[in-house]
Structures are given as structure tokens and as C-alpha cells.
């Protein structure tokens, strides 16, 4: 097939409709750098790597299974967890009764980072952004009444993966369930933690060993269990476009395969248990094509390892719709966004799916918002009839061509990563993180200029926002409950047995030996999560990230027409320098275990572009540490970014700490996911401004400057 015989006629017709302009002006360059044309024809199918293939057959573009949803629909797997194990357990049971199929556990940030609830560094984090788990006793409550031999359980755990997976196994043992009956998935994808998710504990080397240990233990003991979920979702949410997401995720996958091979495993013993996790955004066709492209590429990448089992190169994936695309403004719109994204995941051929709740940018889901989110999927499955046909978009000129474009672009980046020596080395070099952050800064600049439309945020804004639904708030008393239970457990266990089990674990960390296996006796003896984590940390150390910051990307994305907005702020910064002897200086900081750093990076980088001097603190600060830094650097203002619900504890504590150092004249502002209902509380405590999700950079910079100008320029 060549050019359509009447293509020229079409061009003429199109041109006529556009007052003589060539249809080429309708081409759209996506953030991925792909040029999308207004029309695709059969010509575009020529020379593609894979057309007219079959589902269930290599290279799996059309799906990993032969019958796909026509045979069985994807698994509705909603990610949830909050407060205590007891409360989360109740929530799970209600959801399962209402049609949810699999479980997916969200842990709180203290648990993620290997701290017990009584640790001083996590005072603001307990139960806030997930469920608090301190020991196997909590684990047993979490799965109470949920038969672990039947229920497939997915657990998002990466840092504290040894105590959590061991806890799950022992909880099952105590339910009378055998190891080999366990089915589900542990995320266990540490590379992307260093890159975007930020719940690492140990340095890369021992962390990679932990992964191999888990793969090797499970390949023998838990053959139905997915030992890793290689995740691009978090990269997307941190700012990666679809090509970056595909490339870095698959490159991570290759790195894990190499690690497992190096530890002596045969490719076919573990590769079939590798699973993936992709994020699906608002570019509807792009992310359909992305899933198809990812499957093709994975098959291609795996062939270098010569697997015998076809399942070894078959990409199976979970998907989640984008939380980032959801807004605090006019939040019911989020139901529509999520529906579109869910459709995209489904048409792309996902194996399971999480759909976000409409209150995503406000707080954790409530019973109500969770119901709507779940029903979004149920309605697609049971009412829309889209499940009847496998890969219904297969053969579409556009989708097939876009699939190829993503394959080609992602392959280029994968090649780049390979040249750096693989993903672990690439992450060390900082390349992937910088790419993602640059992509995030540019996106922010396009939104702030109104070039990328977000309804309710930069177009069709509501005059009066009001929240007429319940918002979930996890009370600070959850910490007291957890601390009390920790005391109880420590009082009732056999200290000698605990001591011995922990020493054995430390020795295994030091001298080799399977760490998951070594952790089981400790869990059985009621050692706590923090103790188990510490037993390994004493050998491995705790990883500290290298923060790099991009600069210039935000400002350079501004078109000449819109430049005056940023020029006006630059002028004010120059004026401030002239009047007061230095530039406005702001410390941006993240306190507690909250690892959401997309916002703070965007703020740091864009504010510097606007003429501020911006100090950026390491992650995971205590309020006292942040205050010390603010004082030493002598900043005018501290901006605390809080997304994991620690704001009511941590920001007032920061103000107290500044006072203790005699620096109560340093202005404090806060930003992030802070429910509007909490603003007054923060103002009362002395916070001078709060900037919620969706605040345009020029707007917050203007307000911040005003605060400083008022104080220092008479």
C-alpha cells in the first residue's frame, strides 16, 4: 500500500477549509517530541515493526492474553490504606463486598521508611498517608477476615520490603495458609524510589541484593507470587512524559533481570513473575499506544537474555490513572478525567487498574469518593460493552503509528541509558531524574501560561470554590494508639528470642544468606518493623540522596508574549536587591517522611528563574533541622511543602523551632495538599500564606514577594 490515491485531493480540501494554509500547520508536537498529524491513512502502517499480530502471541502488542477482556475483564484493584490496621481492614472488607476484586495496600510513610511509630523522626506521619504497621500483630489485624489463600494482595512496599513481606508471610502462616498458596504482588522496585518515589532506606547495592533475595526465596516458596512490580507510574506522576515513562521503566526492568541473572538464577525461573505498573494520563491516545509500545519493547529487550518460556518476555501490567491530572478546583470534574484515563488504560490492555477518587488533590479517599472511583471501572466493565473485543483499536492507522513512534523514541533513551552502563549507573549520574524534573518544570510553565488547558484551574474557573463533601482526616491520636500497641508487644514477647533473631539477621546482612528467610524468625518472635529494618541498617547504612536542581527550564518555556509576567517579578527582585542589599532569599523544605518532591523542585527551580535566591533543604527534615538551616542561611522566608498530611503537626512545629532560635521574624508559608478547611488553623499558628494544588507559580511568587517587600522595603 502506498499513498492514498486521493491524498492530494484531501490536502486541497483541507487547505481550502483553512484559508489556504497547508494541513501541516495542524501538526502537533507532543511533549514527548512526537509529531502528531491531523490525519493518518493506510500509508502510515507501512514499515511498522508489528502490524497484524495476534493477542497472546509475541511481540504481544495486542495484549499478553489470547482472549483478553473478552475472556475475563481486568482486575479492579483499588489502592488504599490509612490510619490503623483495624480501620483499613474495615475499609477493605466494605470495598470487597461492593465489587472490588483485589486488595492493594498503601502503607504510611513511617512504615515505608523503616521507622516504628514511636520514632522521633515520624511524629507527623503516623497513619496519615497510608496504614501504620509496626509488627506482625498489625499485619494480622489488617488481613483479619480476608483469607490470604484466596485473596490476591498487592503491597506497595519498597524500602521496608523485608519486614513487610515477612510480616505478610507470617500473618498468612498464622491464618494457616502455606507459602505456596500466596498470590499477589509486592512492588519491590527500588530503582524508581531513588528516581522519583523517595521511600528508599538503604543504598542501591544492598537494596539490589534484597531484591534478588526476594526473587530467589519466592521462586522456590511462593511460585504464584509476583516478586516485583516495575513501576513507571511514579515517574509519570513526578513529571515524566509517556516516552520517558516507557524508557526508564523498561530500563529498570532490564537492570533487575541482569541482577537476578548475576545472582545465579535462570531467566525462566523469575522473568515470568516480573510485572509492571504504568501511569495513565490525560493524553488519551498516547497512553493507549504507550501500553502497546511497552509490550513490544519488553519483548524485544528480553530477547537478549534468550528465555525459553514465552511468559518471560510477556509484559503484564497494572495501571493507575493519574492523580496529578486531578484538581483541587471544581473537583467533580475529576470523575470525568478519571473515566477518560481508565478508558485509555483499558483500550491499552491493562491487566488490573486503580482509578483515583475525585478528592485526590484534597485528601485520602472517603467511602463516598472511593465508591465513585470503583464504580467508574465497574460501569466500564459491566455497562459499556467495551470488553467484548480484544484490542479494539488494533489496526487503527493512528494508534499503530503512534505505538511505533513511542517504541522508537523510547528505544533511543534506553540506548542512552545502556551507554551509561544501565539504569543503576544512569540514576547515579542523575540523568533520568533531571529529565523528569525538566519535563515537570516545562509542564508547569505551560499550565501557568494557559497553553495546556486544565478546566477549573486555568480556564472556566469557578467564582466560588466550595467543598460540599466529606474530607478524610486521620487524627493525630493514631500515633498514640500505635505507640501503646508497640509497648504492649514489647512487654509480652520473649526478649531473648527477639535479640537472637535480630542478631542472626544482622549476620545474614553482613555475611550473606537470604535476608527474607532470615527475617521470618524475627517476625515470628514479634520483632518490630523498625527493629528488623535497623538490624539491616546497622550493616548497610541509610541512603542519602544527591539533590540536583535544574534551572532555566521554567522560564525558557515562556513564550515571548507571556514573558512580561515573569519579567515583572524579576524586576521586583532586582528592586529588592537594590533597596535591601540582597535578593529575596527563601528556604524551601520538606519535613517528615513526605517524599513528594515534584512541587518543591518546581518551586525552587522556577523561583530561581524569577530572581529569588532559593535554598533547598535535604529531604526528610525535622522541624528543628529546617529551622537551623533557615537561621544559618539567614533567609527571609521558609516555604514548607507538605503533601502527606503532616502540615498541622510539622508547620506549627517549625514556627516554634524558629522562635526558639530567636528567629521569629522569618516568615513561614506553606504549600501542597492542604485541605482548605485547615488554612485557618495554620494562619492561627502564624503561617502567613498557604498555596494549594494548582496555584500558578507567578501567583505564589507574587504573594511571597509581597510579604517580603512589606517587611523589608519601607
User: Looking at the annotation, which residues are catalytic?
Assistant: 79, 233-234, 590, 594, 596
251 lies in the binding site for ligand B12 (CB under 6 A): no
Options 125, 287, 594, 609; binder of ligand B12; rule CB under 6 A? 594
672 lies in the binding site for ligand B12 (CB under 6 A): yes
Number of residues that bind ligand B12 (CB under 6 A): 46
Nearest of 218, 222, 102 to residue 155 by alpha carbon: 102
Kindly list the distances between the CA atom of residue 176 and the CA atoms of 71, 96, 140, 182, 253, in Å, as whole numbers in the listed order. 32, 22, 12, 11, 34
Q: Which of residues 292-351 bind ligand B12 (CB under 6 A)?
A: 323-324, 326
595 lies in the binding site for ligand B12 (CB under 6 A): yes
Q: How far is the CB of 515 from ligand B12 (least distance, A)?
A: 22
Options 180, 549, 679, 686; binder of another protein; rule CB under 8 A? 549
Question: In 422-451, which positions are buried (b, 16+ CB within 10 angstroms) versus exposed (e)?
Answer: bbbebbeeebbbebbbbbbbbbbbbbbbee
115 lies in the binding site for another protein (CB under 8 A): no
Query: What dihedral do alpha carbons 575, 577, 578, 581 form, nearest 10°?
Result: 160
The smaller minimum CB distance to ligand B12, of residues 479 and 598, is found at: 598
Q: Who's near 398: CB < 8 A, 6+ residues apart?
A: 40, 44, 285
Q: How far is the CB of 675 from ligand B12 (least distance, A)?
A: 8
- For residue 131, the 8-state DSSP code is B
Tell me which of another protein, ligand B12, none is bound by residue 321, counting a contact when its beta carbon lies within the kind-specific cut-off of 5 to 8 angstroms: none
Options 446, 517, 633, 681; binder of another protein; rule CB under 8 A? 633
618 lies in the binding site for another protein (CB under 8 A): yes
Tell me which of ligand B12, another protein, none is bound by residue 225, counting a contact when its beta carbon lies within the kind-specific cut-off of 5 to 8 angstroms: none
Contact of 615 with 600, CB cutoff 8 Å: no
Cα–Cα dist 387/74, whole Å: 9
Tell me which of ligand B12, another protein, none is bound by residue 629, counting a contact when its beta carbon lies within the kind-specific cut-off of 5 to 8 angstroms: another protein
Cα 689 from chain centroid? 27
- Give the count of alpha carbons within 13 A of 248, CB side only: 35
The stretch near another protein (CB under 8 A) out of 11-19, 187-195, 387-395, 610-618 is 610-618
The smaller minimum CB distance to another protein, of residues 425 and 490, is found at: 425
605 lies in the binding site for another protein (CB under 8 A): yes
Q: How far is the CB of 689 from ligand B12 (least distance, A)?
A: 8
Contact of 93 with 145, CB cutoff 8 Å: yes
Q: How far is the CB of 579 from another protein (least distance, A)?
A: 8
Q: How far is the CB of 244 from ligand B12 (least distance, A)?
A: 13
Cα–Cα dist 2/17, whole Å: 25
Max CA separation in the chain (angstroms): 86
600 lies in the binding site for another protein (CB under 8 A): no
Q: Which of residues 641-680 bind another protein (CB under 8 A)?
A: 661-663
Q: Which of residues 349-388 bind ligand B12 (CB under 6 A)?
A: 360-361, 363-364
Query: Residue ranges of the alpha helices (H) in 349-430?
Result: 367-382, 397-419, 423-429
414 lies in the binding site for ligand B12 (CB under 6 A): no
Contact of 22 with 37, CB cutoff 8 Å: no
The smaller minimum CB distance to another protein, of residues 53 and 580, is found at: 580
671 lies in the binding site for ligand B12 (CB under 6 A): yes
Cα–Cα dist 144/180, whole Å: 20
The 550-589 site mask, x for binding ligand B12 (CB under 6 A), equals --------------------------------------x-
How far apart are the two ends of the chain, measured CA to CA in Å?
Answer: 75
Cα–Cα dist 600/672, whole Å: 9
Tell me which of ligand B12, another protein, none is bound by residue 618, counting a contact when its beta carbon lies within the kind-specific cut-off of 5 to 8 angstroms: another protein
The smaller minimum CB distance to another protein, of residues 307 and 698, is found at: 698
Adjacent-strand bridge partners of 672:
642
Options 442, 598, 636, 648; binder of ligand B12; rule CB under 6 A? 598
Kindly list the distances between the CA atom of residue 620 and the CA atoms of 164, 432, 602, in Å, as whole numbers in the listed order. 21, 22, 18
Q: How far is the CB of 213 from ligand B12 (least distance, A)?
A: 22
- For residue 37, the 8-state DSSP code is P
Tell me which of another protein, ligand B12, none is bound by residue 555, counting a contact when its beta carbon lies within the kind-specific cut-off of 5 to 8 angstroms: another protein
Cα–Cα dist 299/295, whole Å: 6
Q: How far is the CB of 610 from ligand B12 (least distance, A)?
A: 11
Adjacent-strand bridge partners of 185:
154, 226
Helix axes 431-448, 697-712, angle to 10 degrees: 80
Q: How far is the CB of 280 from ligand B12 (least distance, A)?
A: 13
Count Cβ atoms below 10 Å from residue 672 Cβ, excluding itself: 25
691 lies in the binding site for ligand B12 (CB under 6 A): yes
Tell me which of ligand B12, another protein, none is bound by residue 617, counting a contact when its beta carbon lies within the kind-specific cut-off of 5 to 8 angstroms: another protein
Cα–Cα dist 232/249, whole Å: 5
- For residue 329, the 8-state DSSP code is S
Q: For residue 219, give the H/E element and its range.
A: helix 204-221
Tell me which of ligand B12, another protein, none is bound by residue 577, counting a contact when its beta carbon lies within the kind-specific cut-off of 5 to 8 angstroms: another protein
Q: Which of residues 129-158 bind ligand B12 (CB under 6 A)?
A: 129-130, 156
410 lies in the binding site for ligand B12 (CB under 6 A): no
198 lies in the binding site for ligand B12 (CB under 6 A): yes
Nearest of 405, 100, 163 to residue 283 by alpha carbon: 405
Q: In sequence order, what DSSP letters do the residues of 668-684 get, joined into one string?
A: EEEEES--GGGHHHHHH
**Cell numbers given for 10:** 484531501
Count Cβ atoms below 10 Å from residue 21 Cβ, excluding itself: 12
Count Cβ atoms below 10 Å from residue 392 Cβ, excluding itself: 16
698 lies in the binding site for ligand B12 (CB under 6 A): no
The smaller minimum CB distance to another protein, of residues 63 and 611, is found at: 611
Cα–Cα dist 186/228, whole Å: 6
Tell me which of another protein, ligand B12, none is bound by residue 360, counting a contact when its beta carbon lies within the kind-specific cut-off of 5 to 8 angstroms: ligand B12
Q: Which of residues 83-112 bind ligand B12 (CB under 6 A)?
A: 106-107, 109
Tell me which of ligand B12, another protein, none is bound by residue 693, counting a contact when its beta carbon lies within the kind-specific cut-off of 5 to 8 angstroms: ligand B12
| Footprint on this chain of another protein (rule: CB under 8 A) | 544-549, 551-552, 555, 570, 573-574, 577-578, 580-583, 585, 604-605, 607-619, 625, 628-629, 631-634, 661-663
| Footprint on this chain of ligand B12 (rule: CB under 6 A) | 106-107, 109, 129-130, 156, 196-199, 234, 237-238, 323-324, 326, 360-361, 363-364, 588, 594-600, 602-603, 639, 641, 643-645, 669, 671-673, 691-695, 700, 704
Amino acid at each position: 500500500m502506498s499513498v492514498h490515491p486521493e491524498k492530494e485531493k484531501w490536502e486541497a480540501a483541507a487547505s481550502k477549509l483553512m484559508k489556504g494554509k497547508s494541513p501541516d500547520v495542524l501538526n502537533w508536537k507532543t511533549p514527548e517530541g512526537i509529531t502528531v498529524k491531523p490525519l493518518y491513512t493506510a500509508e502510515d502502517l507501512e514499515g511498522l515493526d508489528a502490524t497484524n499480530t495476534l493477542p497472546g502471541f509475541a511481540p504481544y502488542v495486542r495484549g499478553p492474553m489470547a482472549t483478553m477482556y473478552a475472556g475475563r475483564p481486568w482486575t479492579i484493584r483499588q489502592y488504599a490504606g490509612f490510619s490503623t490496621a483495624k480501620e483499613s481492614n474495615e475499609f477493605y472488607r466494605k470495598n470487597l463486598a461492593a465489587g472490588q476484586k483485589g486488595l492493594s495496600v498503601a502503607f504510611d510513610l513511617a512504615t515505608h521508611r523503616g521507622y516504628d511509630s514511636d520514632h522521633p523522626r515520624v511524629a507527623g506521619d503516623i497513619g496519615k498517608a497510608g496504614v501504620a504497621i509496626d509488627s506482625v500483630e498489625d499485619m494480622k489485624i489488617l488481613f483479619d477476615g480476608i483469607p490470604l489463600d484466596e485473596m490476591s494482595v498487592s503491597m506497595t512496599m519498597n524500602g521496608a520490603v523485608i519486614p513487610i513481606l515477612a510480616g505478610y508471610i507470617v500473618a498468612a502462616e498464622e491464618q494457616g495458609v502455606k507459602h505456596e498458596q500466596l498470590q499477589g504482588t509486592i512492588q519491590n522496585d527500588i530503582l524508581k524510589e531513588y528516581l522519583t518515589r523517595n521511600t528508599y532506606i538503604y543504598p542501591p547495592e544492598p537494596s539490589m541484593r534484597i531484591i534478588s533475595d526476594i526473587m530467589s526465596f519466592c521462586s522456590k516458596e511462593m511460585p504464584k507470587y509476583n516478586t516485583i512490580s516495575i513501576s513507571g507510574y511514579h515517574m509519570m506522576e513526578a513529571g515524566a512524559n509517556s516516552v520517558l515513562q516507557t524508557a526508564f521503566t523498561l530500563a529498570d526492568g532490564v537492570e533487575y533481570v541482569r541482577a537476578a541473572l548475576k545472582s545465579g538464577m535462570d531467566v525462566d525461573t523469575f522473568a515470568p513473575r516480573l510485572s509492571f505498573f504504568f501511569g495513565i494520563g490525560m493524553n488519551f491516545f498516547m497512553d493507549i499506544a504507550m501500553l502497546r509500545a511497552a509490550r513490544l519493547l519488553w519483548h524485544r529487550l528480553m530477547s537478549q537474555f534468550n528465555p525459553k518460556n514465552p511468559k518471560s518476555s510477556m509484559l503484564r501490567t497494572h495501571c493507575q490513572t493519574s492523580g496529578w491530572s486531578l484538581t483541587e478546583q471544581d473537583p467533580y470534574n475529576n470523575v470525568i478525567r478519571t473515566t477518560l484515563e481508565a478508558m485509555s488504560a483499558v483500550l491499552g490492555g491493562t491487566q488490573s487498574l486503580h482509578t483515583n477518587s475525585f478528592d485526590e488533590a484534597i485528601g485520602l479517599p472517603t467511602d463516598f469518593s472511593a465508591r465513585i472511583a470503583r464504580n467508574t471501572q465497574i460501569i466500564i466493565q459491566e455497562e459499556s460493552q467495551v470488553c467484548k473485543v480484544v484490542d479494539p483499536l488494533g489496526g487503527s492507522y493512528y494508534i499503530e503509528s503512534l505505538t511505533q513512534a513511542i517504541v522508537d523514541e523510547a528505544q533511543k533513551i534506553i540506548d542512552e541509558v545502556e551507554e551509561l552502563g544501565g539504569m543503576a549507573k544512569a540514576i547515579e549520574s542523575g540523568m533520568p531524574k533531571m529529565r523528569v524534573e525538566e519535563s515537570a518544570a516545562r509542564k508547569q510553565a505551560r499550565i501557568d501560561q494557559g497553553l495546556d488547558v486544565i478546566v477549573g484551574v486555568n480556564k472556566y474557573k469557578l467564582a466560588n470554590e466550595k467543598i460540599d463533601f466529606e474530607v478524610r482526616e486521620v487524627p493525630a491520636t493514631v500515633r498514640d494508639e500505635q505507640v501503646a500497641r508497640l509497648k504492649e508487644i514489647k512487654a509480652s514477647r520473649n526478649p531473648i528470642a527477639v535479640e537472637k533473631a535480630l542478631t542472626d539477621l544482622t549476620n545474614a546482612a553482613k555475611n550473606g544468606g537470604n535476608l527474607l528467610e532470615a527475617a521470618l524468625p524475627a517476625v515470628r518472635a514479634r520483632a518490630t518493623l523498625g527493629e528488623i529494618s535497623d538490624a539491616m541498617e546497622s550493616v548497610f547504612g541509610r541512603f542519602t540522596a544527591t539533590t540536583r536542581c535544574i534551572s532555566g527550564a521554567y522560564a525558557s518555556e515562556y513564550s515571548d508574549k507571556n514573558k512580561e509576567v515573569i519579567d515583572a517579578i524579576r524586576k521586583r527582585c532586582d528592586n529588592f536587591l537594590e533597596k535591601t542589599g540582597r535578593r529575596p532569599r527563601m528556604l524551601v523544605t520538606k519535613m517528615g517522611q513526605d517524599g513528594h518532591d515534584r512541587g518543591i523542585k518546581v518551586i525552587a527551580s522556577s523561583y530561581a528563574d524569577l530572581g529569588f535566591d532559593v535554598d533547598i533543604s535535604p529531604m526528610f527534615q525535622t522541624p528543628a533541622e529546617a529551622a537551623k538551616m533557615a537561621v544559618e542561611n539567614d533567609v527571609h522566608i521558609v516555604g514548607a511543602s507538605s503533601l502527606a498530611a503532616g502540615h498541622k503537626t510539622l508547620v506549627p512545629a517549625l514556627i516554634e523551632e524558629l522562635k526558639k532560635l530567636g528567629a521569629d521574624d522569618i516568615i513561614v508559608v506553606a504549600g501542597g495538599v492542604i485541605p482548605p478547611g485547615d488554612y485557618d488553623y495554620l494562619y492561627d499558628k502564624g503561617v502567613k500564606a498557604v498555596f494549594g494544588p494548582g496555584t500558578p507559580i507567578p501567583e505564589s511568587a507574587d504573594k511571597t514577594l509581597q510579604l517580603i517587600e512589606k517587611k523589608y522595603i519601607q
